[in-house]
A and B are shown apart, each in its own frame.
Chain A
Amino acid sequence: MRKLTVRHFIDGEGRIDLQLRLIAGEGGLDKEIKYGEINRPGLALAGFFDHFAYDRIQIFGQGETAFMNQLSYDQKIKTYNDFFSFDLLCCIFTHEYVPDKMFLELAEKKNVPIFLSKRATTRFITLFVHVIDEIFAEQITLHATLVDVFGVGVLLTGKSGVGKSETALELIERGHRLVADDMVIVKKIDESLLMGTGSEILKHHIEIRGIGIVNVREIFGIRSVRNRKRIEMVILLEEWEPEKEYDRLGLDENKYNIMEIEVPYITVPVRPGRNIPVIIETAALNQRLKKIGINSARELDEKIKKWILTEGQK
């Protein structure tokens, strides 16, 4: 399990979606987030601290801020000091509400990061839970290449040297988009969704034997890349073995297991002169047809069976 810190909200994966602004308590950014859960601190502010989930992420909405506003100076001193006597993880204020000076000073002193969000509370919580789930999702790193081919997330696997990167390059040349080459971080977002991204540092770089490392985004432009893509099929590239039986019909569907999720899987033999990118494009389109319920192989088979029963009998 990865160690996640509050810093992830502004520096890590959460940064783009959450759009949070840190206004105090920078010293607490390295606190570990143990539970990806939130708490509305209304009851705590009112002085009821039983079962106060101080180690969760505190979300201050309009109710909390209105309550804080109507407190007298003396009440504030007591309430805030009680509140900050707990080892708080962090606080997020929605509606971009900036808490008063006393609150911010205490936060700074106690190293409790305070963030602002532009969004309304309910909207923010929905988004936040989604982002947190993703950050906490189970993940593995695969030695593979991920390309978006006609909107289908195709994970290319195979031994080193079989030509994954070269194939990806040719697909990019044909207008498809690269997510990651050689190292794909796969996250299991829920029971049926695998999301693939590249590593932060390698982002959109590709190594081509003979040229070296190139930056795909710089060479082919922004339209040739994307940051993340759902993995919808796996294609294993392997050296052509004359003795091996390859699928000639496509009637049976093979599955590739990634973190207990089954992904449609095909093996494509590589041989000089075989146009692999076209084969991959066709496989991706065929996968899309299957998804909407059209299975070419099965339909042809049905047609032939029917013909045998009717026309063939004449």
Chain B
Amino acid sequence: MIEKDVIVNSDAGIHARPAMMIVREAMKYPCEVMLIKDSIEADAKSIMSVLGLAIISGTKLTIRANGEGESELVDFLVELIEKDFRA
């Protein structure tokens, strides 16, 4: 299991499109991956789950993955969020 913290800085927070970018990447890996905000866990492979977290700019997120490809995926997601979803 691997866990990393990241702060969301993009002004619009995580709305539909950024959520989709997270989910699309997460689906490529077999491991289980969660986004955690204020101890609420959301499955990063589910759009509704990610949107349900209502992540606004400035939110501290924890990304936790468990299984095959975990560290690669967590690093990728951290980078994606740090770069404000600009690929």
Q: Which residues of A contact B (CB under 8 A)?
A: 141, 143, 160-161, 165, 181-183, 199, 201-202, 205-207, 213
- In the complex, how many residue pairs between chain A and chain B have their CB atoms under 8 Å apart? 44
One of B4-12, B44-52, B58-66, B77-85 contacting the partner: B44-52
- B-side residues, CB < 8 A to A, are 16, 27, 40-43, 45-49, 51-52, 54
| A160 and B46 contacting across the interface, CB-CB below 8 Å | yes
- Give the 9 A-B residue pairs with the shortest CB-CB distance, closest first: A182-B48, A160-B45, A183-B52, A143-B43, A199-B52, A202-B52, A207-B47, A182-B46, A141-B40
Give the shortest distance, in Å, between B5 (CB) and chain A (any CB).
19
Given contacts A161-B45, A182-B48, A207-B46, 19 further A-B contacts (CB under 8 A): A141-B40, A141-B52, A143-B43, A143-B46, A143-B49, A160-B27, A160-B46, A182-B46, A182-B47, A182-B52, A183-B42, A183-B46, A201-B54, A202-B48, A202-B52, A205-B48, A206-B48, A213-B16, A213-B48
* Complex Cα–Cα for A183 and B5 (A): 22
Output the least CB separation between A202 and chain B (Å). 5
Interface hub of B43, B46, B48 (most chain A Cβ within 10 A)? B48
Q: In the complex, which residues of chain B have a beta carbon less than 8 angstroms from the beta carbon of A161?
A: 27, 45
8 contacts between A and B (CB under 8 A): A141-B40, A141-B52, A143-B46, A161-B45, A182-B43, A183-B42, A202-B48, A213-B47
Q: With A and B bound together, what is the CA distance between A309 and B9 in angstroms?
A: 74
Contact flag A183-B45 (CB < 8 Å), given A141-B40, A201-B54, A213-B16: no
* B13 CB, min distance to chain A CBs, angstroms: 12
- Closest CB of chain B to A41's CB: distance in Å? 35
C-alpha gap A119/B46 in the complex (Å)? 43
CB-CB nearest in chain A for B40:
A141
CA distance A165 to B48 in the complex (A): 10
Task: Report Cα–Cα, A77/B77, bound state, in Å.
Answer: 62
Q: Kindly provide the distance from the CB of B44 to the nearest chain A CB, expressed in whole angstroms.
A: 9
Contacts of B48 in A (CB 8 A): 165, 181-183, 202, 205-207, 213
Query: Cβ of B52: which chain A residues have Cβ within 8 Å of it?
Result: 141, 182-183, 199, 201-202
- Inter-chain CA distance A199–B16, complex, in Å, is 16
Q: How far is the CA of A204 from the CA of B45 in the complex (A)?
A: 19
Q: For B27, what are the chain A residues with a Cβ–Cβ distance below 8 Å?
A: 160-161
Expressed in whole angstroms, the Cα–Cα distance for A304 and B41 within the complex equals 48
Looking at the assembled complex, report how far the CB atom of B43 sits from the nearest CB atom of chain A, in whole angstroms.
Answer: 4
**A residues in contact with B51, CB < 8 Å:** 201-202
Q: Using Cβ atoms and an 8 Å threshold, which residues of chain B touch A143?
A: 41-43, 46, 49
Nearest-Cβ distance from residue A261 to partner chain B, whole angstroms: 19
Residues in B whose Cβ lies below 8 Å from that of A205: 48
How far, in angstroms, from A143 to B16 measured CA to CA in the complex? 18
